[in-house]
Each structure stands twice: as structure tokens, then as C-alpha cells.
């Protein structure tokens, strides 16, 4: 069994001190949050682009029915929206977390 000497620092994993391990862990969490943020922004940009394309296509479509291409875009928009929402709710390292709204987002009477 290894004992800490009176003037030595406690050892962390892989021979580092607990202090350096803590710094590395904090840097890793920041990097993971930055990657999550970049991914979320990318997905949100794609979502807006697809929504604008779909809006223009639906506006120019003389019928009330969606084409197969428009339906594909609707499905992709739903998937991207779900991914963005999930990434917004996720946080690494105890950062801010998305909490459900106590009031429905559509407001009263808007269904």
C-alpha cells in the first residue's frame, strides 16, 4: 500500500496530481460543451434552411397536398428539431440545463 508522505500531494490517475487531473477534466468538459454547441448551431442552421425551402415550395404548390420531396423535408426538419432540443437539454459538467416550460409554448388557446 502506498502512503502519502507529509509534504507530498495526493496522486490522481496516471500519476498526475488531483489538481492537474481536475484541470484536465475541466478542459475536457469545456471542449465537449464547445463541440455540442457547434453541432447544435450547425443543426439549427440546416433546420432554418430546410424550413425556408419547404415554405417556398409549399407556397408555390397549387395543390393542398405535399409532394414526396416536401414530406421528406418535413421529416428531416422534425429530426433536426428533435436533435437540437436534445442537445440544448444536454450539458457536460453541471452547466445550465434546459428545463421544461411551465406554460405551453403555443400560449393559451393556440392549438
Residue 85 within a domain: yes
Q: Is residue 3 part of a domain?
A: no
Report the pLDDT value the prediction gives residue 111, as an integer from 0 to 100.
Answer: 46
pLDDT digits (tens, 9 = 90+) for 48-74: 999 999 999 999 988 889 999 999 999
Residue-averaged pLDDT of the chain: 80
Establish if 49 belongs to a structural domain.
Answer: yes
Q: Is 25 contained in some domain?
A: yes
For the entire predicted model, the pTM comes to: 0.60
pLDDT of amino acid 19: 80
Asked if residue 48 is part of any domain, the answer here is: yes
Report if residue 108 sits inside a domain. no
81 lies in some domain = yes
Spatial separation of the C-alpha atoms in residues 101 and 111, rounded to whole Å = 16
- Domain range spanning residue 35? 17-89
Compute the distance between CA of residue 37 and CA of residue 48 in angstroms, rounded to an integer: 16
- 31 domain-assigned: yes
Say yes or no to pLDDT of 102 above 90. no
Number of compact structural domains in the chain: 1
69-99 pLDDT, tens digit per residue, is 999 999 999 999 999 999 888 877 765 555 6
Amino acid at each position: 500500500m502506498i502512503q502519502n508522505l507529509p509534504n507530498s500531494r495526493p496522486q490522481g490517475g496516471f500519476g498526475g496530481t488531483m489538481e492537474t487531473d481536475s484541470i484536465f477534466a475541466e478542459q475536457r468538459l469545456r471542449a465537449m460543451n464547445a463541440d455540442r454547441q457547434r453541432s447544435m448551431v450547425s443543426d439549427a442552421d440546416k433546420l432554418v434552411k430546410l424550413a425556408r425551402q419547404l415554405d417556398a415550395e409549399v407556397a408555390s404548390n397549387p395543390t393542398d397536398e405535399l409532394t414526396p420531396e416536401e414530406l421528406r423535408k418535413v421529416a428531416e426538419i422534425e429530426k433536426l428539431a428533435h436533435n437540437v432540443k436534445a442537445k440544448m437539454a444536454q450539458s457536460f459538467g453541471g452547466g445550465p440545463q434546459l428545463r421544461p416550460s411551465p406554460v405551453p409554448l403555443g400560449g393559451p388557446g393556440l392549438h
